């Protein structure tokens, strides 16, 4: 079994995440924002490449702007890929994405310190774009690696910089993005903060992910009649905002009544014309529905759509909805889940499996490799927020489990 110094690698992984949370590794003052192909992204991969090389890896930038560290194995078969994303949302936390990368580097560092190589190569990939926070599309770089991009989207960031121009500033191009496809892997392992409160509520440091939830997202438009706030009698109003408010509460009630991992969220709301003394004539909002299984998600979504249509009809409002996002569930590989759980128990931690309600690069990489994910608790479940926090002891525990997983995988491949 690979041994690691008590309190060493996990602590360093956390410290490095913190180090990347400030200039020059952020594109905003007073907080963290690291967009794909930005100056902060470039500074981050340059420093991370040094850390990879110190751990015994050869580091390179692929055609999508991902940083790839390679540690040779005793055989020439497909690699174990350990990956996560280096980009962040605006004013985000330090650990969402980078922690999984730093723990991957520490896994290799532990092997290298003992002069050990597994029967398979190990690649640590820092994906450049998971969040989609610079360009209006998410997970473009893992999609490129997984061969899921047929064309490069024609799009620009908020400053008008096109994707092709941003790639060109890195010596890349739409052609190199499409050519970044990986030939295939033995397995894909991603460690990530939970981004939810389950592990902390149960007093657990770690959990094995069973899969990534199926997602549906809709844009909804509710239309009534704008009118004067002082002269329109209440019984005669066709208030689009009051109708939307009833719809939002109905959406919440449907999700709560399911008593499962189903969740439903209205995350964006706009009332028009938006004047204090005018009854809203139109309201636009989004609905996000997720569950571990597609049938349960779809059943809830249909119930939601039927209920908001009934509310609109009862209030004399018109209603339109449009599906804008449909992601199937991405189950983790059963054998790899068993191997990760065995490593968890072998390291002295209770077995716990849970579904991921958030999307991750693992759901994309499932196209070219069986996947496994390990969740680490984060304080109060807070993520996408500067208050995001991970305990060093939990990172150390995650590292021990990942090394156990690698050891077990090496035995099975010998």
Q: What is the mean pLDDT of residues 270-295?
A: 96
d(CA 174, CA 85) in angstroms, rounded, equals: 20
Q: What is the CATH number of domain 214-327?
A: 3.30.70.360
Beta strands in 328-385 (DSSP E): 330-331, 353-356, 371-376
Report how far residue 54's alpha carbon sits from residue 50's, in angstroms, rounded to the nearest whole number: 6
150 vs 404: CA distance, rounded Å: 37
Question: Tens digits of per-residue pLDDT, 354-380?
Answer: 999 888 999 999 999 999 999 999 999
From residue 298, how far is each of 148, 216, 259, 266, 290 by CA, in Å? Answer: 25, 8, 16, 17, 9
Rounded to an integer, what distance in angstroms lies between the CA atom of residue 44 and that of residue 38? 10
Torsion angles phi and psi, residue 64, rounded to 5? -105, 0
Q: Where in the chain is the domain with CATH 3.40.630.10?
A: 9-212+329-413
Residues paired with 217 in a beta bridge: 288, 325
* Model pLDDT, residue 86: 98
Rg (CA), the chain: 23
pLDDT tops 70 at residue 111: yes
Tokens (6 digits) for 178? 């499409």
Nearest to 343 by CA among 413, 414, 397: 397
Beta bridge partners of 85: 127
SS3 6: coil
Q: Where do we find the tokens 């940083």? A: 67
Give the pLDDT confidence of 387-404 residue by residue, as tens digits. 999 999 999 999 999 999
Q: What is the pLDDT of residue 269?
A: 97
The structure tokens 């964006």 sit at 268
pLDDT band at residue 2 using 50, 70 and 90 as cut-offs: very low
Torsion angle defined by CA atoms of residues 330, 333, 339 and 340, in that order, rounded to the nearest 10 degrees = -10
- Residue 7 region, left (φ>0) first, then alpha (ψ -120 to 50), else beta? left
The arithmetic mean of pLDDT across residues 105-114, rounded, is: 96
pLDDT band with cut points at 50, 70 and 90 for residue 292: confident
Stretch 65-85: mean pLDDT: 97
For the chain, the maximum distance between any two Cα atoms, rounded to a whole number of angstroms, is 81
Angstrom CA distances, 117 to 164, 266, 286, stand at: 39, 49, 49
The whole-angstrom separation of Cα 344 and Cα 123 is 22
The pLDDT-based confidence of 12 (bands split at 50, 70, 90) is: very high
pLDDT tens readout for residues 161-175: 999 999 999 999 999
pLDDT digits (tens, 9 = 90+) for 33-46: 999 999 999 999 99
Burial bucket for residue 31 (CB in 10 Å: 0-12, 13-18, 19+): middle
- With pLDDT > 70 as the criterion, what percentage of the chain qualifies? 98
**What do you get for the CA distance between the two ends of the chain, in Å?**
14
**Which whole number is the average pLDDT over 299-316?**
98
Could you give the residue range(s) of every CATH 3.30.70.360 domain in the chain?
Answer: 214-327
Task: Retrieve residue 175's tokens.
Answer: 């052609």
- Please tell me the CATH superfamily of domain 9-212+329-413, with its number: Zn peptidases (3.40.630.10)
Task: Return d(Cα 384, Cα 75) in angstroms, integer.
Answer: 40
Average pLDDT of span 400-411: 96
């Amino acid at each position: 079994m690979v041994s690691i110094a008590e309190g060493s690698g996990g602590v360093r992984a956390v410290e490095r995440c913190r180090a990347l949370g400030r200039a020059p590794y952020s594109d905003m003052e007073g907080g963290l924002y690291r967009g794909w192909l930005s100056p902060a992204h470039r500074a981050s991969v340059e420093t991370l490449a040094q850390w990879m090389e110190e751990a015994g890896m050869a580091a390179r930038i692929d055609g999508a702007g991902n940083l790839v560290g390679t540690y040779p194995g005793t055989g020439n078969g497909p690699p174990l890929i350990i990956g996560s994303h280096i980009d962040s949302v605006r004013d985000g936390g330090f650990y969402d994405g980078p922690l999984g990368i730093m723990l991957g580097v520490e896994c290799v560092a532990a092997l290298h310190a003992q002069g050990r190589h597994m029967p398979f190569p190990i690649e640590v990939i820092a994906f450049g774009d998971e969040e989609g926070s610079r360009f209006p599309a998410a997970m473009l770089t893992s999609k490129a690696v997984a061969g899921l991009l047929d064309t490069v989207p024609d799009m620009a960031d908020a400053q008008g910089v096109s994707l092709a121009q941003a790639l060109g500033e890195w010596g890349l191009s739409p052609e190199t993005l499409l050519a970044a496809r990986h030939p295939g892997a033995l397995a894909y392992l991603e460690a990530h903060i939970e981004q939810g409160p389950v592990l902390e509520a149960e007093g657990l440091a770690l959990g094995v992910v069973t899969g990534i939830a199926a997602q549906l997202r809709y844009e909804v438009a509710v239309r009534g009649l704008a009118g004067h706030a002082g002269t329109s009698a209440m019984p005669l109003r066709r208030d689009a905002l009051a109708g939307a408010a009833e719809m939002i509460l109905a959406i919440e009630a449907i999700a709560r009544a399911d008593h499962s991992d189903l969740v439903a969220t209205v995350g964006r709301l706009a009332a028009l014309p938006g004047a204090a003394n005018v009854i809203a004539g139109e309201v636009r909002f989004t609905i996000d529905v997720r569950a571990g299984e597609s049938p349960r998600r779809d059943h809830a979504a249909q119930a939601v759509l039927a209920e908001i249509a009934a509310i609109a009809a009862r209030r004399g409002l018109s209603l339109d909805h449009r599906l804008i996002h449909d992601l199937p569930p991405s189950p983790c590989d059963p054998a790899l889940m068993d191997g990760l759980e065995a490593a968890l128990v072998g390291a002295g931690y209770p077995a716990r499996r849970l579904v991921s309600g958030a999307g991750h690069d693992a759901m994309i990489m499932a196209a070219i490799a069986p996947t496994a994910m390990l969740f680490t608790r984060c304080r109060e479940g807070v993520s996408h927020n500067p208050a995001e926090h991970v305990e060093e002891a939990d990172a150390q525990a995650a590292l021990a489990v990942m090394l156990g997983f690698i050891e077990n995988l090496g035995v099975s491949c010998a």
